[in-house]
Amino acid sequence: MKTTLKITVVLVMLFTIVSCNKKTRRNYQYMPNMYQPVGYEPYQESDAFKGDMEAQLPVDGTIPRGYSLYEIEDTTEGYEEAKAGLESPLDSSAVDYARGKELYDIYCGICHGNKGDGQGTLMKREKILGVPSYDTRELTAGSIYHVIYYGLNSMGSYANFMSEEERWQVVAYVEKLKADLEK
């Protein structure tokens, strides 16, 4: 009888230890004071800010360092204006097709296809529809940049994915793809 009791006690203890080891919970830490930062971490929850988020948009009317303003508006007229007047600040020596391709394949190729023919993976799998091939559209550097910046119809804005210079590199690469398609 005593043995049974002992075995039960051991089993219960083992069970408690095992059930403590939950995958959905973090492990114990030796010195949490050294592990947890005093300053704000990116994406941390904080009641000091609006919406209890540490991540906030820049204050209205300010520009982050190294950024510049894009003053053309997100309207049909704005699109026409960009298409007619906006030109790439990169000269031919600054255009880096290798980097343009790398960025294009990450951000655009998934729908527009790595060749720009509108046959990206999402299009082929019928997740996203109606992506045109570049050679069926009239594009200028300005209109490409404008659409990357604001998006168009179902396409969202890609302004927050890439810096200004990177966007212009992608524009140059898209122009190259369009030229290749039209050959």
| Contact predicate 54/136, CB 8 Å | no
128 binds another protein per the rule CB under 8 A: yes
Amino acid at position 36, single letter: Q
Q: How far apart, in whole angstroms, are the C-alpha atoms of residue 88 and residue 140?
A: 10
Site string for another protein, 156-175 (x = CB under 8 A): xxx-xxxx------------
Site string for another protein, 59-88 (x = CB under 8 A): -----------------x------------
Toward another protein, which CB reaches closer, 87 or 121?
121
**Phi, psi values for residue 114, rounded to 5°:** -70, -15
90-109 binders of another protein (CB under 8 A): 105-107
Q: How far apart, in whole angstroms, are the C-alpha atoms of residue 123 and residue 137?
A: 18
The token duo for 167 is: 């966007």
Residue ranges that bind another protein, judged by CB under 8 A:
23-30, 34-38, 42-43, 45, 51-53, 55, 76, 105-107, 110, 118, 121-122, 125-132, 151, 153-158, 160-163
